[in-house]
Amino acid sequence: MTWTSKKREELTGWLFIAPQALGFLAFVVAPLVAVVWYSFQDVNLLAGTSEFAGAGNYAKLFDDPTAPKVARATAIFCVGLVVLNLALALSLALLLNLKLRGTTVFRTVFFSPVVVTLVAWTIVWNFLLQDNGGINALLQTIGVEGPNWLRGNGTAMLSVIVVQVLKNVGLNMVLFLAALQGIPSSIMEASQLDGAGPWRRFRSVILPMISPTTLLTAIITVAGALQVFAQIQVLTLGGPADSTNVLVFYFYQQAFANHDLGYGSALAVVLFLVILVLTLLQWRMRRRWVFHES
């Protein structure tokens, strides 16, 4: 083989991407393939044996009485989190975009939970949300008897969503803030001269101008919501009565607590497909509502 300059260039290129490519193959592609393979196996984790199970693990999903509860909890969590997160992030960004004193401090305050360790954040909230915890003590000072936040069927999910929103809203807020600050002032001034009020300006100018950012935040928030785990593990363990048992937590329970790696893997594949479909759906719909897309 002769080492032409083209071949040398080609090899150099491969060597440059090798660390990243090998890492990607080992830690992304290989586990993905393994999960799909395991989802067709009946695995005995303790004995270390496995047998081909065909589509048995996927069929199990339809006979599992807990599965509908898990699907419901996942949908509620996802919708609740996405709506609350995006609405709050946009509202905060609009407020912090005003030229007022002290906005820098508030930006820091709202963003700081993003850099706090997730588990530490959730453990603190676990104490605050106890029946005899800080939130109810605070409510008591104004004469209100708070509910048992993490044990009530309705309040447990609400608590998990709010804890998660407070943790991550700062990230979306910063993204929205950057988008708002990118709107040319000439457009805003033109709309004012045309007599548009605040609501009209928000609906007809601001929302279309920040729509690419809205698409980005929606995609990452939906994908993130479907992957929630640590909060459920620390706050509710999926309870009460499976009301907060979301798909990733259920997958973990099946695969590692119940030793049913085959069924757990099938659940993971289903989750992967759900995230993929939702992301593609959002990506395809962008042409309808994202400004600049045609």
What residues line the site for other proteins (CB under 8 A)? Answer: 43-48, 65-66, 129-133, 148-151, 237-242, 245, 252-253, 256-261
Q: Which residue's CB is nearer to other proteins, number 93 or number 160? A: 160
Q: Which residue's CB is nearer to other proteins, number 121 or number 249? A: 249
Write down the least CB distance from residue 199 to other proteins, Å.
Answer: 42
What are the structure tokens assigned to 257, written together? 């607590």
Q: Which residue's CB is nearer to other proteins, number 65 or number 198? A: 65
Q: How far apart are CA 264 and CA 255, in angstroms?
A: 4
DSSP states of 110-169 as a string?
HHGGGGS-HHHHHHHHHHHTSTTSHHHHHHHHTT-----TTTSHHHHHHHHHHHHHHHHH
Distant-in-sequence, close-in-space partners of 258: CB < 8 Å, separation ≥ 6: 264
Identify the three-state secondary structure at position 141: helix
Maximum Cα–Cα distance for the chain, whole Å? 86
Write down the least CB distance from residue 293 to other proteins, Å.
Answer: 43
Write down the least CB distance from residue 252 to other proteins, Å.
Answer: 8
- Provide the CB-side half-sphere exposure for 34 (13 A, CA): 9
Q: How many residues does the chain have?
A: 294
Write down the least CB distance from residue 46 to other proteins, Å.
Answer: 4
What are the structure tokens assigned to 167, written together? 């943790």
Write down the least CB distance from residue 231 to other proteins, Å.
Answer: 16
Q: Which residue's CB is nearer to other proteins, number 135 or number 207? A: 135
Q: Which residue's CB is nearer to other proteins, number 94 or number 230? A: 230
